[in-house]
């Protein structure tokens, strides 16, 4: 049985959602963030040395990194669902957004979170680097979203699930989406999906679902 090592209020909500979209049976092992540091408990390091979530175990296989997990699940259990056909422009877009979400889109958001938490929300680093990078990336995403219904094309895919987390984080700040209607609409659309709602019921606390 596939097991999702799930940290509350985290990126691993995406993995639950993917499994619900595909209708695959799975178990959840729940982990709670430390209320002060927000870090995962040490026991998660017994599953993977970095102790980050999501991690999945599937028999003797352990997979970390949400993009790699989505690839693994879609390739192994998807039967062609949630992934565009090989050698198509849509497949290339799928791969691009699958990597872009964690490789690029999350970085300025993470800087923003860390600087804010350490009282550096008004620092030069924030105004000279972080804020312009957030603007650059999220204006870019907004403009790309005018091209098609979903990230890889007209069909919903695993790339939409992977892109959901950075967009939910951005959409949590009303100022960030007041001039980005495509991002706002995307987040509303995914939240309305039955599989998304089922994943929320199973996953527990997740602050970016409204
Ligand atoms: N790029 C990784 C990021 C994993 C990550 O940093 N997860 C966070 C949760 S959103 C985490 O485990 N934080 C707790 C910690 O660092 O101890 C992925 O997409 O899986």
Q: Number of structural domains, the chain?
A: 2
Q: For residue 203, how far is its CA from the centre of ligand 1 (angstroms)?
A: 16
> Using one digit for the tens of pLDDT, what is the confidence trace for 60-92?
999 999 999 999 999 999 999 999 999 999 999
At residue 143, the pLDDT reads: 98
- 93 and 75 belong to one structural domain: no
Same domain? 95 vs 188: yes
Smallest Cα–Cα separation from 61: which of 79, 78, 50, 73? 73
Residue 82, Cβ density class (10 Å: 0-12 exposed, 13-18 middle, ≥19 buried):
buried
15 and 77 Cβ atoms separated by less than 8 Å: no
Among 138, 144, 152, residue whose Cα is nearest residue 104: 138
The domain of 115 spans 89-194
Give the closest residue (by CA) to ligand 1 atom 20: 65
67 and 139 part of one domain: no
Q: Using the atom order of ligand 1, give the atom closest to the CA of residue 40.
A: 17
Q: What is the CATH number of the domain that holds 45?
A: 3.40.30.10
Whether residue 172 sits in one domain with residue 120: yes
Q: What are 97-152's pLDDT values in tens digits?
A: 999 999 999 999 999 999 999 999 999 999 999 999 999 999 999 999 999 999 99
Query: Is the minimum distance from the CB of 54 to ligand 1 under 6 angstroms?
Result: yes
* Residue-wise pLDDT tens digits, 178-208: 999 999 999 999 999 999 999 999 999 899 9
Å from CA of 107 to ligand 1 middle: 12
Q: Which atom of ligand 1 is found nearest the CA of 10? A: 10
Residues 98, 49, single domain; the answer is no
Q: Which of 187, 201, 206 is nearest to 19 (CA)?
A: 201
Q: Which of 149, 153, 151, 158 is nearest to 17 (CA)?
A: 158
Q: Is the pLDDT of residue 210 over 90?
A: no
Report the CATH number at residue 102.
1.20.1050.10
Burial group, residue 107, by CB count within 10 angstroms (0-12, 13-18, 19+): middle
| pTM (two decimals) | 0.97
Q: Is the CB of 65 under 6 A from ligand 1?
A: yes
Question: For residues 7 and 44, is the Cβ–Cβ distance under 8 A?
Answer: yes
Whether 6 and 50 share a structural domain: yes
Q: What is the pLDDT of residues 1-47, one digit of tens each?
A: 999 999 999 999 999 999 999 999 999 999 999 999 999 999 999 99
In this structure, what token pair is assigned to residue 98? Answer: 């699958």
């Amino acid at each position: 049985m596939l097991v999702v090592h799930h940290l509350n209020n985290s990126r691993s909500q995406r993995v639950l959602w993917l499994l619900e979209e595909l209708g695959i049976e799975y178990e959840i092992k729940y982990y709670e963030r430390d209320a002060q540091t927000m870090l995962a408990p040490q026991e998660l390091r017994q599953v993977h040395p970095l102790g980050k979530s999501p991690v999945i175990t599937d028999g003797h296989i352990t997979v970390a990194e949400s993009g790699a997990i989505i690839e693994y699940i879609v390739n192994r259990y998807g039967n062609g669902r949630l992934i565009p056909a090989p050698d198509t422009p849509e497949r290339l877009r799928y791969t691009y957004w699958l990597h872009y979400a964690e490789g690029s889109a999350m970085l300025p958001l993470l800087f923003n979170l860390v600087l804010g938490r350490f009282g550096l929300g008004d620092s030069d680093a924030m105004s000279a680097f972080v804020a312009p990078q957030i603007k650059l990336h999220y204006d870019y995403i907004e403009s790309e979203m005018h091209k098609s219904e979903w990230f890889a094309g007209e069909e919903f895919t695993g790339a939409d699930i992977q892109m959901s987390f950075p967009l939910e984080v951005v959409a949590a700040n009303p100022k960030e989406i007041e001039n980005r209607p495509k991002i706002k609409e995307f987040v509303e659309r995914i939240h309305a999906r039955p599989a998304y709602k089922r994943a929320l019921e199973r996953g527990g606390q997740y602050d970016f679902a409204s």
